A and B are shown apart, each in its own frame.
Chain A
Amino acid sequence: MFDRLFFVLGETFTALRRNLGLAFAATGTVAASLYLLGGLFLAYSGISRYADGLSGRFEMRVFLKDGITVPQIKWTAEKIRSFEGVRQVNWIPRDKAWEKYSKENPEIARGLENPFPDSFKVILSDLKKGDEVSERIAKLPATDPDGGVQYLRDEQNLIAQAKDALKVLGGMVGGLLATIAAVLIFNAIRLTVLSRRIEIRIMKLVGASYATVYTPFLLEGAIQGALGGLVAAGLLALTHRTIGEALKSFSALSQLPSLPYNDLTLALSGAGAFYGVVCSAAALYRLQLRYR
């Protein structure tokens, strides 16, 4: 069994060595496409996480009319909670708000009457629903008609657009690079088959099993893909570290989330290997490398 395994592995590495240039090109392109796809995916999930974290900061402030009673406040709070896209509604009584402000800004507050109305802090679960929620709150009877709803509409829209753009960019550029990688692996395998036609012929003459004949080609594709995935994971880690270092100098900006390096390496090299096997199988199928 080990003899067969060593033979197949030996054949695989011989094949890789023979077409070293093309193998490098294929591996490089797989690495580039996985780097881009992986990078975009990480950026997307990073922004999503950031946006989720920001939704607390991108809270809405809803100011109520003067003279609103507690039952009206409760009814309004319940109504807002029932809107789709709303995660949390907190009532901020005008006294509490003034007390807090007076503590934070005692010199300004001194001698003044409480100017704050009763208000709600509304936290969204879905940034895209911001406009809709805002419009519905504004229509409620207790809401102050004159600027009763305040929130960072533009910032929220910007984040939503950034996420959409990343999706499109990932799909287009990543897809293009993945196609180029497929063509390169496909051609690498075809060239390998051609350069190893005597070996293949000998194997068929002496009745080598299908696994012995075909596995080296599939392994070759898998190795090219897996190496591409490893390189991509390394590059992503490097990029992550570089950006992280750069961000340290801007204390105003939040730090990058940590990179799950082990999971990323496994995922990318696994995806690359699978992709390589698929491309190799396609090349073998195209060559109609039948046992004839």
Chain B
Amino acid sequence: MTEFSTPYLRFQNVSVNYAKHPALSEVSLEVERGEFVFLVGRTGAGKSTLLKLLTKEVDAAEGTIDWDGTEIRRVGVFGIPKLRRSMGIVPQDFALLPRKKVWENLAYAMRAAGATRRQIRRRVPEILERVNMVHRADAYPDQLSGGEQQRVAIGRALVNDPPLLLADEPTGNLDPEHSIEIMELLVELNRKGTTVLVASHDVLVIERLRKRTVTMSEGRIVGDSKTDPVTQPMLDLELEPEPSPVEIPVVVETAAAAPVSVSSENAKEVTDPLPISAEDAPEDTDPKENADV
């Protein structure tokens, strides 16, 4: 970016309140076209709220949000559908129609968005190809693995061929193997030009992909690997979200024992076999798989 160029996406001193409780406080963030950004932080840190500001699910109390020349706060109620058609949204819970096949789920979304039958016939196979689900096109959602279901959800987010993809905890319901698979798919889409914003607390996946990571805590941005690479990914570990009950004391203890610069190898050590979680884990389970919950 040159000194005078405008960022693709810019939050400037944005604040959001939920029933007078501050959800975001004076957040400022800039994202370039074609960037891949992870928003990380504990539950309630404000990462989902940041995404919802873009989709107009939430209105900002203060500040400005510019996206590719559009001042999002100025988009009125009747402008929301058009706004949403220009971005792809991937929810955590897949939101697939259980009685429709994979291709029908995509076709349904396209029809809802106003596509003609001809457009659907042409586009659905393309999308299936992009998310590597051609071979499962005739399967029903309950016949798919979690990763496959999320692939379909990502495919649905692509029906409008959006330049911006927003994913809110896309791997929240997936095991580590499928989480990596999904993130790799998002990276692949990013490689083809789509700007991707992902809210996630999946430390291992974030570590592995080595993308820009913006860390949030209590409604504020407390770290950004683009401007402050040293602090990454330590902040992720400190903000390890929603650990299972048996792991809470261990995570807290480890984080306290090993404060700042922890590398990805260290991250494995931190979450590797621990007395309590190892006891609870099935014998044939790889302990690394339990590291991320």
Contact = CB atoms under 8 A, between A and B. Distances in A.
A205 B160 CA distance: 11
A202 B77 contact: no
B57 A207 contact: no
B126 to A, nearest CB: 16
B108 interface: yes
Given A207-B82, A207-B113, 12 more contacts: A3-B117, A198-B95, A199-B97, A203-B112, A205-B95, A206-B84, A206-B89, A206-B160, A207-B80, A208-B81, A290-B77, A291-B77
10 contacts: A198-B97, A201-B95, A202-B108, A205-B84, A205-B89, A205-B91, A206-B110, A206-B160, A207-B84, A210-B78
Interface residues of A, number: 19
A292 interface: yes
Interface of A: 3-4, 7, 198-199, 201-210, 212, 290-292
Contacts of A7: 111-112
Interface string B92-120: 00011100000000001111111111000
A205 B97 contact: no
A202 B84 contact: no
Contact of A292 (B57, B96, B156): B57
Nearest to A291: B80
Contacts of B89: 205-206
Interface string B106-143: 00111111111100000000000000000000000000
Given A198-B95, A201-B95, A202-B95, A209 B114 contact: yes
Given A7-B112, A198-B95, A202-B112, A207 B156 contact: no
Contact of B81 (A201, A202, A207): A207
Residue from A3, A204, A206 whose CB has the most chain B CB atoms within 10 Å: A206
A210 B78 CA distance: 8
B84 A204 contact: yes
B237 interface: no
B178 interface: no
Interface residues of B, number: 30
Nearest to A200: B112
Contacts of A210: 78, 81
Contacts of B109: 202, 205-206
Nearest to A212: B112
Nearest to B108: A202
B255 interface: no
Contacts of B156: 202, 205-206
Contact of B85 (A201, A207, A292): A207
Contacts of B57: 292
Contacts of A3: 111, 115-117
A203 B115 CA distance: 12
Residue from B89, B91, B113 whose CB has the most chain A CB atoms within 10 Å: B113
Contacts of A292: 56-57
A199 B110 CA distance: 12
B285 to A, nearest CB: 32
Interface string B17-37: 000000000000000000000
Contacts of A208: 81, 112-114
A225 B118 CA distance: 35
A46 to B, nearest CB: 50
B115 to A, nearest CB: 8
Nearest to B78: A210
B98 to A, nearest CB: 8
A207 B97 contact: no
A259 to B, nearest CB: 44
Residue from A198, A203, A204, A207 whose CB has the most chain B CB atoms within 10 Å: A207
Given A208-B81, A209-B81, A212-B112, A202 B160 contact: no
Contacts of A199: 97, 108, 112
B157 to A, nearest CB: 7
B159 interface: yes
Q: Which 4 pairs between the two chains have the least Cβ-Cβ distance?
A: A207-B84, A207-B85, A208-B112, A206-B113
B260 interface: no
A291 B83 CA distance: 12
Contacts of A290: 77
Contacts of A212: 112, 114
Contacts of B115: 3
